[in-house]
């Protein structure tokens, strides 16, 4: 028996089963056919659906407008807070002290970087450095170096014994400085 024969037998069984089903229920004419009228005509349903979609689209658009406006407001407030925080932190940065120690007026303090204490200072942008002269001789705090000379970033003029000079660093970078009277005395400030 081939597979076509088997398929023919199955089709025959299906047809016979359907015929028996009709015979058991009566004739197809005896089956009542009821088609109920839909409550809302299709044109009206389509119109209502279209109106609802437009209403939802309008509502969604309004929500998006509100979200966009709120986002703009939050961004603006965040920028303002950032500016206030920046202003607060830079205005509240502690001043850093650099001492011009006793003996700086005598050559030899440059051995071991003892002409300024500390000899290298790292500060934040907007920070202030105060130099205090603890030596008995007058000194200067002049930006630049002995080889190239002053670079006019800052200059204290003469700082007498027990006096101070301060400078606020607003730009990032490394600032070398030296004493014009005692050129072996040199140091640096690094602004980050």
What is the domain-level CATH number for residue 170? 2.60.40.420
pLDDT of residue 75: 84
Residue 102 placed within a domain: yes
Cis peptide before 118 (omega within 30 of 0): yes
Q: Is this structure's pTM higher than 0.75?
A: no
- On whether both 127 and 74 belong to a single domain, the answer is no
Residue 153 has pLDDT above 70, yes or no: yes
53, part of any domain? yes
CA–CA dist 58, 36 (Å, integer): 36
pLDDT band at 143 (very low <50, low <70, confident <90, very high): very high
Per the structure, how many domains does the chain have?
2
Residues 169 and 126: their CA atoms lie apart, in Å, by: 5
The answer on 137 and 63 residing in a single domain is no
87 shares its domain with 109: no
Does one domain contain both 187 and 133? yes
Does residue 154 sit in the same domain as residue 139?
A: yes
Rounded to 10 degrees, what is the CA torsion of 170, 175, 181, 186? 140
Residue 149 lies in a domain: yes
Question: What is the tens place of the pLDDT at every residue in 107-125?
Answer: 999 998 899 999 999 999 9
> Is the residue at 77 inside a domain?
yes
Residue 20 falls within a domain, yes or no? no
Alpha carbon distance 189, 21 (integer Å)? 102
pLDDT for 51 equals 81
Are 65 and 143 within one domain?
no
Query: Is 7 a member of any domain?
Result: no
Residue 89 binned pLDDT confidence (cut-offs 50, 70, 90): low
Mean pLDDT over residues 4-15, rounded? 76
Q: For 43-80, how does the pLDDT look when each residue is reduced to its tens digit (9 = 90+)? A: 776 777 778 878 877 777 888 888 888 888 888 888 88
Same domain, 51 and 116: no
Whether 104 and 171 map to the same domain: the answer is: yes
Give the range of the structural domain holding residue 85, as residue numbers without chain letter: 46-91
* Order of all β-strands in the sheet with 164-168: 96-100, 128-133, 164-168
Any domain includes 28: no
- Tokens 């009566």 belong to residue: 26
Looking at the structure, tell me whether residues 76 and 112 fall in a common domain: no
Specify whether 183 is located in the same domain as 112.
Answer: yes
Q: Do 100 and 184 fall into the same domain?
A: yes
Is the residue at 122 inside a domain? yes
């Amino acid at each position: 028996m081939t597979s076509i024969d088997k398929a023919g037998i199955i089709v025959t069984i299906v047809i016979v089963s359907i015929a028996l089903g009709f015979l058991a229920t009566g004739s197809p004419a005896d089956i009542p056919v009821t088609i109920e009228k839909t409550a809302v005509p299709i044109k009206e349903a389509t119109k209502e659906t279209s109106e609802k979609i437009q209403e939802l689209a309008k509502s969604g658009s309004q929500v998006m407008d509100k979200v966009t406006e709120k986002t703009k407001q939050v961004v603006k407030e965040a920028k303002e807070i950032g500016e206030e925080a920046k202003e607060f932190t830079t205005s509240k940065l502690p001043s850093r002290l650099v001492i011009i120690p006793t003996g700086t007026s005598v050559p030899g303090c440059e051995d071991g970087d003892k002409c300024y204490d500390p000899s290298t200072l790292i500060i934040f942008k907007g920070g202030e450095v105060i130099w205090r002269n603890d030596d008995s001789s007058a000194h200067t705090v002049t930006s630049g170096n002995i080889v190239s000379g002053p670079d006019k970033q800052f200059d204290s003029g003469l700082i007498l014994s027990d006096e101070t000079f301060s400078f606020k660093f607003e730009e990032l970078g490394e600032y070398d400085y030296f004493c014009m009277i005692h050129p072996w005395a040199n140091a640096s400030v690094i602004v980050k």
